[in-house]
Amino acid sequence: MALTIISLIKQVPVPSEMRMGEDGLMDRTKAKSIINIDCQFGLEAGLQLRKQHPDARLIVCSMGPGSFEASLKTAISMGYDEAYLLSDRKLGGSDTYATGLAISTMLKHLGFSKNSKDPFIILAGRQTSDGDTAHVPSQVAENMGIPQATFVESVKSEGTSSVIAKRIIEGGYQMMKLPMPCVISLTPTGIPPRKPSLSGAIKARNLKITTFGIDDIGLGTEKIGISGSPTIVAKVVNMVSERPPITLSEGHNEVSLVDSLIANLKKGGNVLEKKETAAKKESERPDFPEKDFRNGASGIVTWAEITNGNISRPSLELLTPARNLATQLGHGTKVMTLMIGKNIKALAQTLIEHGSDEVICVENDRLEEYLVLPFASIFAQVIKERNPEIALFAATTSGRELAPRIGMRTSSGVTADCTGLEIGEYIDRKQKVIITPILESRRPTYGESKLATILGFVCPQVSTARAGTFEVPPRIKDRKGIVSGFSPVLDEKDFVVEIIKTVRGEGGLQNLFDADIIVSGGRGTTNDSLALIKSLAEALKNQGVNAEWACSRPVVDEGVTEYARQVGQTGKTVRPKVYVAVGISGAIQHIAGMKESGKVIAVNHNPKASIFNNADFGIVGDYQDILPELIERVKAGFTFGIEPKKKI
Amino acid sequence: MDNVDTVSTDVLIIGGGPSGLATAIYLADRLKQKGLNNRILLIDKGNSIGSHILSGAVIKPDVFKELLPDVEFSEIPFNARVTKDSMVLLGEHSHIKLPFHAPYMSNKGYYTASLGQLCKYLAVKAQQKGVEIYTGFAVDEILYKDGKVIGAKTKDTGLDHHGNQLENFQQGTRIEAKITVFAEGPRGPLTKMLINKFNLTEGRNEQVYSLGCKELWSVPQGNIEPGEIYHTLGYPLQNDEFGGGFIYGLNDNKVAVGIVVGLDYKDPTFDVHDAMQVWKTSSFVSKILKGGKLVEYGAKTLPEGGYYAIPKLYVDNALIVGDGAGLVAMPTLKGIHLSVKSGILAAQTITEALSKNDTSENTLKHYETSVKSGTIHKEMFKVRNFRQGFEKGLFAGGFHFGTQLITGGAGFFGRLRSIPDYKTTKKLKDFKKKPFKERFKGKLEFDKVLTFDKVTDVYYSGVYHDEQQVVHVRINDPEKYKKVNIDQYGAPEQFYCSSEVYELHTNKSGEKEIRIHAENCMHCRTCDIKSPGLGITWAVPNGGNGPDFQNM
């Protein structure tokens, strides 16, 4: 009854080490390949589990070209025992739906299924740096019919047949207990991956990696590769950086550095040169017949996520693209919103006033806290009954696991983390038809450098929308709409996962959304428990500025402050006029939460910190030198160019 | 310690540079010839072979024919063949091409090369011959049994800044070997330990070093021809600063430029990197770089104590090869062919030792004998006093060098003394000449077109270090360091460091402290060599950390 630990990994180009080519552009061809960072955390989680189960069998699996063997060998040199690679040309072009299907078929071929006698656990990275969807773990779980926990930071086994996972949610975390077998996806915030050992590297050198083709595992071609994928990438365009190059302060000590910053702020810093790009000639729209692919599906359904008894802000934001799409579709297209929870009916009117035409309420005492299995089941049942053409979710930690599980059930695939949603058409030059009206889901990819347009050809077209991208639509008092109920069939098996504890910072600190200046501290500022960060914010407040302080993810992890102050992908998305990032390295998760800020000022001792690529002004220096000086200046009247509203 | 992973090998080679790889290749061939089936394991701390390798380089190619007799010479990835070779006496706005070559400095028939690329090629050859190569592993401990070397251990990883074990702690692996070959390059930390433990410099000069900073540029067609090379003397160095510049035209409109400066200079504020930037602004050099773009940056030290600074090269079960053995011939600063040669000689002795099953000094001493009798001896002995002569300044050195030519290397005074570099720096109050910054006032504002500040250059080295580890450069005695190195010398490390690891911070109240940015480190180890009073120890960081040179 030994435990088997299965890690799923993907090999990706190193995102941060891509060199500047001689033409000044990022040279991707020279980028080295590594194991995707999140997957490395998954590997480590497996090695940690072995501490509890010294006799566990550790397997690492991947799907991709033969070159992926290098990463599998790295996993062996870290401590894994066996490696399997699914490699077949026919898999090329698979979307996340097809990938999830292929991987789970390989695992079944290896003898792992929900009916396996011996316990096993599948570990994966939360998402990959070259795909960013976070779908595959959910889709593998759905395909194997086993429970899952995504966005997990740490996992421990309890007894012989279950695990306790700490799942990161917006503004907090959840402790949950899952029976094995199950799928766990790991965020890159838990225990960092260990380095390979030499003895492991020697073992890896001598180990034969088992490689499967699709025929070996009995996988047909109809559901994989480009042809088997329900979604396609229709277009990729370069994204232009929205922030001009940084102006760094010059000086030899804190006084001159701060002098320089103040002078730079007055001057106004760099301005982005908008290069006029010659508009590419749109190829002419051919005279093909139009084909409505929807087979009678109609309407848009959105999910209203309830946290702490309220509708979460991203779920309200979602109504902006939903209404916009309904308008574009015309013909009285309805926006429906599904709300699941306990005693929630009273919230329906809020949704209607923000733009829903119909709110479908599912009320049940057991559904007070979000649980992926019953929620996916209910959602699928609603989709079956209402037959919508589009289903939208906010790309929260819940939305990003719920949507792919539903997409697997409806065979429709999912587009993750969109920043643009429009109705368009697809010119199919092979079949000589124009498929319309289709949802164009636009999402940033390749480290935010490109914008891809994804199309799905199976209804409902499922997309998740990045939180903080769309504004909450204005509330229209007494807007009319329907509130309806729905009685789902609930399966006891969907309640096998137990939520032990949910911890959320007080939903408060709404002030972070409205502050003019946010002073935010990172890992580098925890020496004094953020005392200097707080003092700077306090000094600004005393000057009559609407200022607040916040922090990045590691600060919360270290327990220095509460979740409600966290800015970033799994925290708040803020848009102050001035964002002062102190000791923040600038991980992409953090940037996602503050990049809409007016002016960004970065203070960091490491001149190579990536925050400097996302800031307008910067000081390279130790915060313990710079901040006391800045505080002095604020006390003397310097307010980063923000007019004080009132004098206290 | 019972459950430490242990692997056994016949030969362990620490370092995948030219000398380590040559040892491996030649040894594999010899063993095969003898029908022996011994395991050869080569470990390098770089991410890949070549990623920590830097050289000018212009290479005397003959030795590669000896190393790889069965290989078509054209297969070896040298760059352009030297076609035009000039010595230039440089001034800020002027230059004089010397109509003759200093003796021993002609490079006709030699090849330019990226030594990193060359090493990558040698690594492939070695692996084809059955050598096991593992990169990305740092070795930080020599294993002893009964006072004799029995191998080495890879570094423990998963430690915090204080050395406490973290949850992802991974214990190092013990590598037990019949023979351990130290091929770490100049001032290797393990080689240093070995030399100290067995007192291998007894009766020999202390090693002295130069620091070379190099940039690889891509320039417009026509700026310089492939194989067109220059060595410069003079600007921006003064008489008592030993060194010069190099400009090597490469294929595909690339050019390697850099300067090498002896670390025996006296000015506590001297900065080799910045001196190189000033050098580039001279009319002669800037013309060659005009319209070009920086591609890579790197730095490396090289031993130049010459013949008398070669330590004892063997102990029971262990040998030292290459730069670690101080095998660089002056005045050409050529060490690659000697490194390869030392690898070949070491391999011969190791073959003998393994066949006789005697790895004691008795057999291994034959390696040193062969180094001191063959071509290495020939090249290094005749110029044995070259470098020491320059300690008195360029003109005096030139004079000595002249006399050495006449007397066949002995000079007028027999063997010259050599003062270690950490003793030559003057205290701020004792240094009466113009300090570096005043000498080049107005020239140290870098335009990021032709000239670059250190941090920018460092970016072009691809350097990376894990955040989670014990800081790998250590101030040995912080209190003494503050009193002596900072207060009396003004923290020279902030200037000589090739990659801005050391920052002297002065706060508002005038208090000074040194701050260490180990993540920038280029692994040149100048701090271990030049810090007054040997105030700093350079240890090896986690494997795979450090620069990521592509074509250096």
All residues of chain A having their beta carbon less than 8 Å from the beta carbon of residue B508 are: 253-255, 629
From CA A425, how far away is CA A455, in angstroms rounded? 9
Q: What phi, psi does A147 have (nearest 5°)?
A: -70, 170
Sign of the alpha-carbon torsion through B116, B118, B119, B120: positive
For residue B417, give the DSSP letter.
P
3-state helix, strand, coil in chain B (%, to 5): 30, 25, 45
Asked if A48's CB is within 8 angstroms of B167's CB, the reply is: yes
Q: Which of A264-273, A363-372, A461-470, B398-407 has the highest mean pLDDT?
A: A363-372
Closest to B508 (Cβ–Cβ): which among A44, A47, A255?
A: A255
More confident call, A363 vs A236: A363
- In Å, what is the CA distance from B355 to each residue of A588, B25, B413, B463? 58, 17, 45, 42
Could you report the per-residue pLDDT of A490-505, keeping only the tens digit for each? 999 999 999 999 887 6
Asked if A195's CB is within 8 angstroms of B542's CB, the reply is: yes
Could you report the per-residue pLDDT of A289-331, keeping only the tens digit for each? 999 999 899 999 999 999 888 998 889 999 999 999 999 999 9
**ipTM of the complex model:** 0.91
From CA B548, how far away is CA B49, in angstroms rounded? 10
Question: B residues 123-152 near A, CB within 8 Å?
Answer: 132, 134, 136-137
- The per-residue DSSP string of A324-387 comes to HHHHHH-TT--EEEEEEESS-GGGHHHHHHHT-SEEEEEE-GGGSS--HHHHHHHHHHHHHHH-
Asked if B550's CB is within 8 angstroms of A30's CB, the reply is: yes
State the first-to-last Cα distance of chain A, in angstroms, to the nearest integer. Answer: 69
Question: If you count residue pairs, one on A and one on B, with CB atoms under 8 Å apart, how many are there?
Answer: 80
All residues of chain B having their beta carbon less than 8 Å from the beta carbon of residue A248 are: none
Contact call for residues B217 and B293 (beta carbons, < 8 A): yes
Residues in chain A: 648
Enter the tokens of residue A114.
Answer: 């929900």
State the first-to-last Cα distance of chain B, in angstroms, to the nearest integer. Answer: 40
From CA A219, how far away is CA A237, in angstroms rounded? 34
- The per-residue DSSP string of B492-504 comes to THHHH-TT--EEE
Q: What is the pLDDT of residue B411?
A: 41
Question: Which residues in A have their CB inside 8 Å of a CB on B?
Answer: 17, 19, 22, 30, 44, 47-48, 78, 191-199, 201-202, 205, 252-255, 605-608, 622, 625, 629
Q: How many helices and strands in chain A, by DSSP H and E?
A: 17, 34
CA-based nearest residue in chain B for residue A45: B168
Asked if B172's CB is within 8 angstroms of A197's CB, the reply is: yes
Asked if A17's CB is within 8 angstroms of B464's CB, the reply is: yes
> Which residues lie below 8 Å from residue A10, measured CB to CB, with a gap of 6+?
A35, A36, A39, A62, A63, A64, A68, A71, A125, A128, A131
CA-based nearest residue in chain A for residue B218: A22
Q: What is the CA radius of gyration of chain A?
A: 25
> CA nearest A567: which of A587, A593, A591?
A593
Q: Using the predicted structure, report yes or no on whether residue A637 has a pLDDT greater than 70.
A: yes
All residues of chain B having their beta carbon less than 8 Å from the beta carbon of residue A607 are: 455
Q: What phi, psi does A85 have (nearest 5°)?
A: -125, 130
CB proximity B494 to A under 8 Å: no
All residues of chain B having their beta carbon less than 8 Å from the beta carbon of residue A629 are: 508
- State the pLDDT confidence band at A447, using cuts at 50, 70 and 90: low
Average pLDDT, chain A: 88
Number of C-beta neighbours around residue A575 at 10 A: 17
Q: What is the pLDDT of residue A443?
A: 86
Question: B residues 283-322 near A, CB within 8 Å?
Answer: 293, 295
Q: Using the predicted structure, report yes or no on whether residue A239 has a pLDDT greater than 70.
A: no
> CA nearest A523: which of A582, A589, A610, A593?
A582
Q: What phi, psi does A6 have (nearest 5°)?
A: -110, 120
Asked if B168's CB is within 8 angstroms of A44's CB, the reply is: yes
CA-based nearest residue in chain B for residue A43: B168
Asked if B505's CB is within 8 angstroms of A198's CB, the reply is: no
Q: What is the pLDDT of residue A25?
A: 43
Contact call for residues B324 and B184 (beta carbons, < 8 A): yes
CATH of B80-113+207-302, one of 3.40.50.10140, 2.40.50.140, 3.30.9.90, 3.40.50.2300: 3.30.9.90
From CA B421, how far away is CA B209, in angstroms rounded? 7
From CA B238, how far away is CA B224, in angstroms rounded? 27
> Which residues lie below 8 Å from residue B378, measured CB to CB, with a gap of 6+?
none
Contact call for residues A163 and A120 (beta carbons, < 8 A): no
Query: Angle B393-B394-B395 (CA atoms, 0-180°, nearest 5)?
Result: 100
- The per-residue DSSP string of A28-42 comes to STTPPEEE-HHHHHH
Enter the tokens of residue A561.
Answer: 């402050």
Closest to A253 (Cβ–Cβ): which among B6, B173, B508?
A: B508
All residues of chain A having their beta carbon less than 8 Å from the beta carbon of residue B542 are: 195
Q: What is the pLDDT of residue A281?
A: 54
User: What DSSP element (H or E) covers B168?
Assistant: strand B165-170
Q: Using the predicted structure, report yes or no on whether residue A522 has a pLDDT greater than 90.
A: yes
CA-based nearest residue in chain B for residue A205: B132
The residue ranges of DSSP E strands in A522-630, in sequence order, are 547-551, 578-582, 599-604, 617-620
- State the pLDDT confidence band at A14, using cuts at 50, 70 and 90: confident
Q: Which amino acid belongs to residue A147?
A: P
For residue A170, give the DSSP letter.
T
Q: What is the pLDDT of residue B415?
A: 46
Enter the tokens of residue B539.
Answer: 């240890």
All residues of chain B having their beta carbon less than 8 Å from the beta carbon of residue A624 are: none
CB proximity B507 to A under 8 Å: yes
CB proximity B517 to A under 8 Å: yes
A258: left (phi over 0), alpha (psi -120 to 50) or beta: alpha
Number of C-beta neighbours around residue B430 at 10 A: 11
CA-based nearest residue in chain B for residue A47: B168
Asked if B544's CB is within 8 angstroms of A195's CB, the reply is: yes
CATH code at B6-70+117-200+311-381: 3.50.50.60
Enter the tokens of residue B457.
Answer: 């250059």
Map out the domains of chain A with their CATH numbers: 4-229 (3.40.50.620), 247-272+505-635 (3.40.50.1220), 290-496 (3.40.50.620)
- Burial pattern B135-144, b for ≥16 Cβ within 10 A else e, equals bbbbbbbbbe
Furthest C-alpha separation in chain A: 75
Asked if A607's CB is within 8 angstroms of B455's CB, the reply is: yes
- In Å, what is the CA distance from B4 to each residue of A49, A198, B104? 20, 11, 51
Closest to A253 (Cβ–Cβ): which among B466, B468, B506?
A: B506
Q: pTM of the full predicted structure?
A: 0.85
Q: Which amino acid belongs to residue B23?
A: T
CB proximity B519 to A under 8 Å: yes
Ordered per-residue pLDDT tens for chain B, 552 residues: 457 899 999 999 999 999 999 999 999 999 999 999 999 999 999 999 999 999 989 998 999 999 999 999 999 999 999 999 888 999 889 888 877 666 556 787 899 999 999 999 999 999 999 999 999 999 999 999 999 999 999 999 999 989 999 999 999 999 999 999 999 999 999 999 999 999 999 999 899 999 999 999 999 999 999 999 999 989 999 878 888 999 999 999 999 999 999 999 999 999 999 999 999 999 999 999 999 999 999 999 999 888 889 999 999 999 999 999 998 877 667 889 999 999 999 999 999 999 999 999 999 999 999 999 888 888 887 777 666 665 555 554 554 454 444 444 444 344 455 789 999 999 999 999 999 999 999 999 999 899 999 988 998 999 999 988 999 999 999 999 999 999 999 999 999 999 999 999 887 778 899 989 999 999 999 999 999 999 999 999 999 999 999 999
Closest to A198 (Cβ–Cβ): which among B137, B505, B506?
A: B137
Q: Which amino acid belongs to residue B410?
A: A
Could you report the per-residue pLDDT of B201-210, keeping only the tens digit for each? 999 989 999 9
All residues of chain A having their beta carbon less than 8 Å from the beta carbon of residue B464 are: 17
Q: What is the pLDDT of residue B102?
A: 60
Place of tokens 């552009």: A25
Q: What is the pLDDT of residue A150?
A: 94
CA-based nearest residue in chain A for residue B159: A194
Q: What is the pLDDT of residue A24?
A: 40
- The per-residue DSSP string of A448-484 comes to TTEEEEEEE-SSSEEEEE-TTTSPPPPP-TT---EEE
From CA A436, how far away is CA A195, in angstroms rounded? 51
> Which residues lie below 8 Å from residue B271, measured CB to CB, with a gap of 6+?
B436, B495, B496
Q: Using the predicted structure, report yes or no on whether residue A274 has a pLDDT greater than 70.
A: no
User: What DSSP element (H or E) covers A269?
Assistant: none
Q: What is the pLDDT of residue B402?
A: 45
- In Å, what is the CA distance from A284 to each residue of A237, A288, A426, B428? 19, 11, 13, 75
Q: What is the pLDDT of residue A230?
A: 82
Query: Angle A181-A183-A184 (CA atoms, 0-180°, nearest 5)?
Result: 130
B551–chain A nearest CA distance, Å? 12
